[in-house]
Amino acid sequence: MKRTIILLSAALALAACTKDPAPGGLPMRVVPSLAGDDTKASLTTADLTEFWLRVECVDDASYSYFEKVSKSGTDWSAAKQLYWKNETAKVNYAAAFFGDHAFTKAEFTSGADLVVPADQSTQAGLNAADLLTLSHAGKKYTDSPTGELPVALSHGLAKVNIVLSLGAAFYDNNYGRTTNPVTALTVTGTNLGFNFQPGSGAASVTASTAADVTPFPLDYTPGTASAKTSVATYEAILVPQTLAAGALKVTFSVGSNDYAWTNAEAITLTAGQTADLPVSVTTAPPAE
């Protein structure tokens, strides 16, 4: 009798271990992409390796999830398999990525207070400033040919493109004929703190976090004997905000001279868009 009880217990234990824990829904395959790869900010689809995802099934909370989704090779997956409840059940979902910030489930509900890094002088620094976001409602399994969950991320902050033109006098005085002579270029007057609401994708500036930004040196085209003007291009990612006339300042140095530019009119920095700031300088320092 004792032998029979032991064998029966072992059989029950084995059955419990082999029971499929899946909820019986349809497997959800997350397929991310990044809009505006060639026009906005710094991150591209190829750069993306992870993001945070909240999925809310409209009529069954057991098919709702909050997970970090990571890339492995060409595949994307969460720590556990995600499922659609069925072919017609709708989900609302949101996704976000911002540098090394680990989003929480609570932040996806109540918002997150974040700060754009001030040092964007390297590619890594620029990437760390790029907020990616998505908010979508009413998606169901049959909306995609094979039931994918498309996560089409977009850039949630604003980009500033500074185009600095150095006139012929710089070339004549031997500044920038081969390499960029500009040093210590800084953007002053913006606020870097913001409140981010992942559910809507909205980023609202926090007025108490003003700081100087060191932009990324994107490109430099030296002048020539026939076209002496040199052009240095910089870019920075900033919080969407409106700056009154005279509030934004770009400062830099060439040789022994220091320069400053301010905006003559109000500038509105808009999420997902680029604001071009043309800066022209004609007075060069003494010849080297």
One domain for residues 82 and 193: no
Whether residue 253 is predicted with pLDDT greater than 80 in this model: the reply is yes
Residue 36's pLDDT is 65
Residue 96's pLDDT is 98
One domain for residues 180 and 151: no
Q: What residue numbers bound the domain in which 89 lies?
A: 23-112+123-155
**Is residue 288 assigned to a domain?**
no
**Sign of the Cα pseudo-torsion (116, 43, 278, 195, in order):** negative
Residue 269's pLDDT is 97
Question: CA dihedral in degrees (166, 170, 175, 178; nearest 10)?
Answer: 60
One domain for residues 176 and 89: no
Q: How far apart are CA 192 and CA 188, in angstroms?
A: 11
Identify the CATH number of the domain in which residue 84 sits: 2.60.40
**Is residue 4 assigned to a domain?**
no
One domain for residues 170 and 151: no
| Each residue's pLDDT tens digit, 129-157 | 999 999 999 999 999 888 899 999 999 99
Identify the CATH number of the domain in which residue 274 sits: 2.60.40.2670
Domain count, the chain: 2
One domain for residues 203 and 178: yes
pTM of the entire predicted model: 0.87
Q: How far apart are CA 153 and CA 35, in angstroms?
A: 6
**Sign of the Cα pseudo-torsion (215, 237, 167, 228, in order):** positive
User: Cβ of 111: how many Cβ atoms within 10 Å?
Assistant: 18
Please list the residues that pair with 144 across neighbouring strands.
Answer: none
Q: If you average pLDDT over residues 39-45, what whole number do you get?
A: 66
User: Cβ of 151: how many Cβ atoms within 10 Å?
Assistant: 21
One domain for residues 235 and 167: yes
**Is residue 244 assigned to a domain?**
yes
Residue 23's pLDDT is 60
One domain for residues 270 and 181: yes
**Is residue 287 assigned to a domain?**
no
**Is residue 263 assigned to a domain?**
yes
**Is residue 286 assigned to a domain?**
no
**Is residue 100 assigned to a domain?**
yes
Read off φ and ψ for residue 135, nearest 5 degrees.
Answer: -140, 125
- The amino acid present at 238, given as its one-letter code, is L
One domain for residues 85 and 136: yes
Instruction: Quickly state the pLDDT bin for 38 (edges 50, 70, 90).
Output: very low
Q: How far apart are CA 47 and CA 52, in angstroms?
A: 15
